[in-house]
């Protein structure tokens, strides 16, 4: 079955760029039919959608983060990645990659386990 796994540094210094990768196993990103998304959760708080990428490379970002976010895809490695620039302590959160199903009803049907990223000097 398809699984998602986030990876990347757990500690990032303020003003630097947060970089995470989500590896998709058990299925192909290139098969289509899904948006590949990033979602974050501040400690003890709710969920915030960051953006998505389609296997073709088309993207859509949350306007609240758009100026700092880049999501890319590497179909040869079956991975997609998140870059968030100029981070501050407010970007400390658990970051999830998730799959959004595109078939009449669009919802997040598969999530990674999440990875905690702390922004601190």
Interaction site with other proteins (CB under 8 A): 37, 46-49, 60, 62-64, 96, 98, 100, 105-109, 111-114
Cβ burial of 21 (10 Å; 0-12, 13-18, 19+) is middle
- CB nearer other proteins, residue 78 or residue 111: 111
Q: Which residues contact 84 (CB under 8 A, 6 or more apart)?
A: 17, 18, 50, 65, 68, 69, 91
Give the shortest CB-87-to-other proteins separation in angstroms.
20
Give the shortest CB-102-to-other proteins separation in angstroms.
10
67: its two tokens: 């100026």
- CB nearer other proteins, residue 16 or residue 68: 68
Give the shortest CB-96-to-other proteins separation in angstroms.
6
Give the shortest CB-14-to-other proteins separation in angstroms.
25
- CB nearer other proteins, residue 90 or residue 103: 103
69: its two tokens: 């976010």
Distances in Å between the Cα of 36 and the Cα atoms of 67, 77, 117 are 19, 14, 20
């Amino acid at each position: 079955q398809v699984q998602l796994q986030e990876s990347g540094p757990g500690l990032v210094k303020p003003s630097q760029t947060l970089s995470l990768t989500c590896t998709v196993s058990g299925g192909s990103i290139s098969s289509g039919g899904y948006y590949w998304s990033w979602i974050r959760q501040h400690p003890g708080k709710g969920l915030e959608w960051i953006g998505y990428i389609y296997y073709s490379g088309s993207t859509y970002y949350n306007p609240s983060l758009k100026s700092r976010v880049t999501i890319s895809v590497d179909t040869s490695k079956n991975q997609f990645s998140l870059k968030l620039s100029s981070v501050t302590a407010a970007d400390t959160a658990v970051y999830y990659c998730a799959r959004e199903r595109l078939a009449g009803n669009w919802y997040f049907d598969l999530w990674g386990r999440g990875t905690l990223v702390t922004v601190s000097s």
